[in-house]
Amino acid sequence: MAELDLSPRDRRRCLIALIGALAVVSTLSSLMWPILSEALRNRGWDETMIGVNAAAQFGGIVVVALLVTRIIPLLGFYRTILTGLTVAAVMLALLPLLRDYWAWFVLRFLMGMGISLLFTAGDTWVNSIVEDRVRGRWLGIYSTVGMAGWAVGPIMGSMMDPESFWPFAAGLIAIAIATVVLLPTRRIDIKLSAQADHDPGRGKLLAVFIIAPTVLLSSAMFGIVEGSVQSFAHLYTMDLLGQQFRSIGYAVIWVASVGAIFFQFPVGWLADKMDRGWLLVICVAILFLMVALLPVLIGYGTDPWWTPGAFALWASLSLWGGAMGAIFTVGITLLGQRFRGVELVAANAVFSVLFGVGGLVGPFIVGAAMEHFGSRGYPAALALTVLAYLLFAAYRQFLRTGWRRRA
């Protein structure tokens, strides 16, 4: 790959541009998911149908991820990201004009395709540039800035009417900013080797999955939790505390996002110092504990934050977000450690496919659980998902490395 010819200055310029663009696009995503869910509920749709609509976006992620090992070698990283931004912008412009449930289903599917293009290409590009000895720290910075974007979106959403055009206008402005931020990278794009064009796409996706199933399946679990949090956390909170506490519902998402900001660089630093496989297991265990605590603590959401119950709630949500973000940070760090070249593209594609599958399944399962079992279905469904993956990951990691040998 030609990235070996990049000068240190070009590497820094590329990383800074990619990190800045990620922050802006993350803001867009964290704004739109809860806004669209709330708009659908306001029109009378139940949680199951809201989950189905949210799942359409993840369906687009899956489709593109299956094709990205062809798309990136053909277009290059920069043009792939630019194509994704263009598709997302067109869909955002159409969403407020076509306020029909099934029209949104199609538009969110196509928007998922655009988002998949830019995130898969961006993650792979960053992993291709950084050196392994500092990979965790750079990807920690990459994730930190991205999580900062996720924290801004809910704040904006809580101040906007989901029936107005303003949330969509804000999303279009975010895309325009991301496009400008990316401009410095257009002349320092790196190209994959020619042999990438002859590799069988689906065969390579299967091959990388067989090599690293634990890391790649973490993305599916992450997708289930992430999609469910963005689509239902605020609705779950309002169901328990009352519709008058809408701002607290958005604060639940926001506090988790803020927690993610502060944890990513320390986790990235740890990923350069300890066994990355065990670090992944630890992060999943923390996430499970925080999910299990949610139904115990959520009732304190209306209390002043400094009271013991409320402080425990917001602290647990911070750890929830930090653990979720850390799973992503450690996961892509492990991918960069284990794969190179077109295999890295394939690994990131599988990571995106499984994230999309998780996002497809998660909102549907959680929405159905809330409809049939009431509000308690939300934390129960998430806890069972995280626990199942935790047991699998811990078992696999112990078989591979024991407690002493590094992966």
- Confidence category of residue 89, pLDDT binned at 50, 70, 90: very high
pLDDT at 96 over 60: yes
pLDDT in tens, 364-397: 788 888 888 877 888 888 899 899 999 999 998 8
Q: Which of 48-62, 311-325, 356-370 has the highest mean pLDDT?
A: 311-325
The identity of residue 2, as a single letter, is A
**Structure token pair of residue 371:** 């409809």
Question: In this predicted structure, what is the pLDDT of residue 6?
Answer: 64
**Structure token pair of residue 41:** 């509920």
pLDDT at 200 over 50: no
- State the chain's mean pLDDT as an integer: 81
pLDDT in tens, 328-357: 888 888 887 887 777 887 887 788 778 778
- Average confidence (pLDDT) over 194-219: 68
Residue 67's Cβ-side half-sphere holds a number of Cα atoms within 13 Å equal to 13
Cα separation, 328 vs 402, in Å, equals 23
pLDDT-above-90 percentage for the chain: 12
- Average confidence (pLDDT) over 118-132: 81
Cα separation, 128 vs 123, in Å, equals 9
Decide which of 49 and 305 is more confident.
49
pLDDT at 153 over 60: yes
pLDDT at 240 over 90: no
Question: In this predicted structure, what is the pLDDT of residue 71?
Answer: 86
Domains belonging to the chain, first-starting first, are: 2-190+201-401 (1.20.1250.20)
Decide which of 228 and 101 is more confident.
101
Backbone angles phi, psi at 362, to 5 degrees: -60, -60
Decide which of 281 and 67 is more confident.
281
Question: In this predicted structure, what is the pLDDT of residue 406?
Answer: 46
Angle value at C-alpha 284, between 280 and 288, nearest 5 degrees:
170
pLDDT at 281 over 90: yes
- Confidence category of residue 144, pLDDT binned at 50, 70, 90: confident
- Average confidence (pLDDT) over 182-200: 63
Q: Which of 66-80, 90-104, 131-145, 178-192 has the highest mean pLDDT?
A: 90-104
Question: In this predicted structure, what is the pLDDT of residue 401?
Answer: 74
Question: In this predicted structure, what is the pLDDT of residue 370?
Answer: 82
CA distances from 191 to 130, 143, 231 (A): 16, 24, 37
The identity of residue 253, as a single letter, is I
- Confidence category of residue 287, pLDDT binned at 50, 70, 90: very high
pLDDT in tens, 53-86: 877 887 887 788 778 878 888 888 888 999 999 9
Q: Which of 360, 358, 336 is nearest to 136 (CA)?
A: 336
Question: In this predicted structure, what is the pLDDT of residue 198?
Answer: 47
Question: In this predicted structure, what is the pLDDT of residue 106?
Answer: 94
Angle value at C-alpha 10, between 6 and 15, nearest 5 degrees:
110
Question: In this predicted structure, what is the pLDDT of residue 116?
Answer: 83
Which residue matches tokens 């289903």? 105
Cα separation, 254 vs 320, in Å, equals 11
Decide which of 269 and 301 is more confident.
269
